[in-house]
Structure 1
């Protein structure tokens, strides 16, 4: 199934308007800054978050200028966070292309990220909607807190599923949660609807991150990062956490501690990946995803009336869980 075409169908004209505004926001006449922004723009993704905002807005009303500025503001905030994340994680690739810090250097990457973040704030201000301003501001705080929590968790000897969820709900899931809320807020949805939208967005965000984490256990260059990259960065994700906690294998727990300490070898990462796959880690993570998928279907049935929007959101939900990269 061509999920992306189905997702876009109800919002084709609105998405075109978004693309124009987003492209304009990442343009600059300054030589170095302009080049770096062009590099960022060329490596931008599928517009998953803006599409989600537009679909959620259309579910509760009519997409308008407030919706568009909120969508651009959030996508710019997301883009800035990726540029900064690559500096923090010392990543050389982003979506299969060289990261900004790899093409230029860390100083340029930080400043480019700051510029994009400032531009995000401008677009949020253009909404003239205090609730939207507060939501984006709180998202920025939540993302920073999630990043710090993840870094501090590397030093934590405990291998905890609860902490794993705490981290992703303050990182990836927070973005999708904000998308759902912003779409609803931009067209004047009431508090009860916004809260239902928030939970729907959070579920999609958790599914998205678990799927991303599963990718890291397979050797697929098209994903844009090497196998075991999370472990190389000191991160233990849901599949490994479950395999380790369900078996209490001392040898593998010792490897996990080396992952957290940053002293693990490539060979040891390979062994832990194989151990995770052999002891049900992938299956467990997929079960968690499908449970959230079922909860999300309930939202679509009870809260989405327009058939085209329902098809778009269903395709969105299915794409997030079924995607191959």
Structure 2
């Protein structure tokens, strides 16, 4: 099934308007900044978050200029966070292309990220909606806090699902939750509908991150990064957490603590990955995703009336859970 075509179908003209506005926002006449922004613009992804904002706005009313500026602001905030993340992670690639810090250096990348963040704030100001401004400000704080929480969890002895969920709620799910809140708010929804939409977005974001984390247990040819890359960075994700807590295998727990303190070897990572797969870690994580999928699907069936939009949001939900990269 061509999920993306189904997702885009009810918002084709609105998505075109978004892309034009977004591209203009990442244009500049000065040499180095212009080149860096061009590089970022050319590596635009599938635009999953802006599409969600547009769909949610249309599901309760219509896509307005407020919706478009809010969508651009949120996507720019996300883009700036990725530019800064690449500096923090010392990453040389983003979506198969050189990262800004690799193309230039860390100083340029941080400044470019700051410029994009300021542009995000500018577009949010164009909404003239105090609640949307507050949503974006809180989102920026939450995303940063989630990354810091993840770093602090790396050094903690705790290996628990709750700690894991706490991190991914803030570093990923919050983004999808804000998309749904801003979309429905800009479309004119009342508070109760906005709250229901936020829960839908939270489930989407949790599914998205768990699926991302499952990819780390398979080889590079399938997902575009080395197996065990998260563990090499000190992160234990849901599949391994489940396998460790359900078996209490002392040898594997010892390796897990080496993951967290940064002393683990490639061979030990391979052993922990294999152990996780052998002891139901992947199946458990997938079960949790499908439970969240069921909750999200209930929202679509109950809250969305237009059949095209229903089909689009179902396709969005299915794409997030079934994607292969």
Smaller-chain TM-score range? over 0.9
Q: Deviations over 1:200-232 (max 9, x none)?
A: 000000000000000011113463432211111
Contact 1:94–1:224, Cα closer than 8 Å, also in 2: no
Q: Could you say which residue in structure 2 is the equivalent of 1:93?
A: 93
Asked if 2 retains the 8 angstrom alpha-carbon contact of 1:95 and 1:224, the reply is no
Paired with 1:104 and 1:258, the residues of 2 have a C-alpha distance of 34
Q: Which residue does 1:156 correspond to in 2?
A: 156
Tell me the distance in 2 between the aligned counterparts of 1:256 and 1:298.
37
In 1: Cα distance, 2:39 partner to 2:228 partner: 26
Counterpart of 2:8?
Answer: 8
Write out per-residue CA displacement over residues 85-121 of structure 1, whole angstroms, 9 at most, x where no aligned residue: 1111112221122211112111111111111111000
Report the Cα offset of residue 7 of structure 1. 0.1
Structure 2: 5+ residue stretches without partners: none
* Residue equivalent to 1:300: 300
Match of 2:263 in 1: 263
The residue that corresponds to 1:130 in the other structure is 130
Aligned residue in 2 for 1:278 = 278
Structure 1 CA distance for aligned equivalents of residues 222 and 117 of structure 2: 28
Deviates more, 1:235-244 or 1:260-269: 260-269
Q: Is the 8 A contact 2:222 2:324 kept in 1?
A: no
Report the equivalent of 1:251: 251
Tell me the residue number matched to 2:211.
211
CA distance in 1 between partners of 2:222 and 2:72 (Å):
27
State how far apart, in whole Å, the 1-side matches of 2:108 and 2:165 are.
Answer: 32
Given the superposition, is the C-alpha separation of residues 222 and 13 from structure 1 closer, same or farther in structure 2, using an over 3 Å criterion? Answer: farther
CA distance, structure 1, for counterparts of residue 310 and residue 196 of structure 2? 15
Q: Is this contact kept in 2: 1:93–1:225, CA < 8 A?
A: no
- Report the TM-score, using the length of structure 1 for normalisation: 0.98
- Take 1:150 and 1:18, find their aligned partners in 2: how far apart are those partners? 32
Contact conserved, 2:176 with 2:205, CA < 8 A, in 1? yes
Residue 274 of structure 1, CA deviation: 0.9
Distance 1:72 1:226 in 2: 32
Measured in 2, the distance between the counterparts of 1:222 and 1:98 equals 20
Task: State whether residues 219 and 225 of structure 2, in contact with CA within 8 Å, keep that contact through their aligned partners in structure 1.
Answer: no
**Which runs of structure 2 are paired with 1:122-201 in the superposition (5 Å)?**
122-201=122-201
How far apart are the structure 2 equivalents of 1:111 and 1:147?
Answer: 20
Q: Would you say 1:81 and 2:81 are equivalent positions?
A: yes
> What root-mean-square deviation, in Å, do the aligned CA atoms of Structure 1 and Structure 2 show?
0.9
Q: Which runs of 5+ in 1 are unaligned?
A: none
Contact 1:215–1:223 (CA under 8 A) maintained in structure 2: yes
Q: Which residue of 2 aligns with 1:19?
A: 19
Match of residue 70 from structure 1: 70
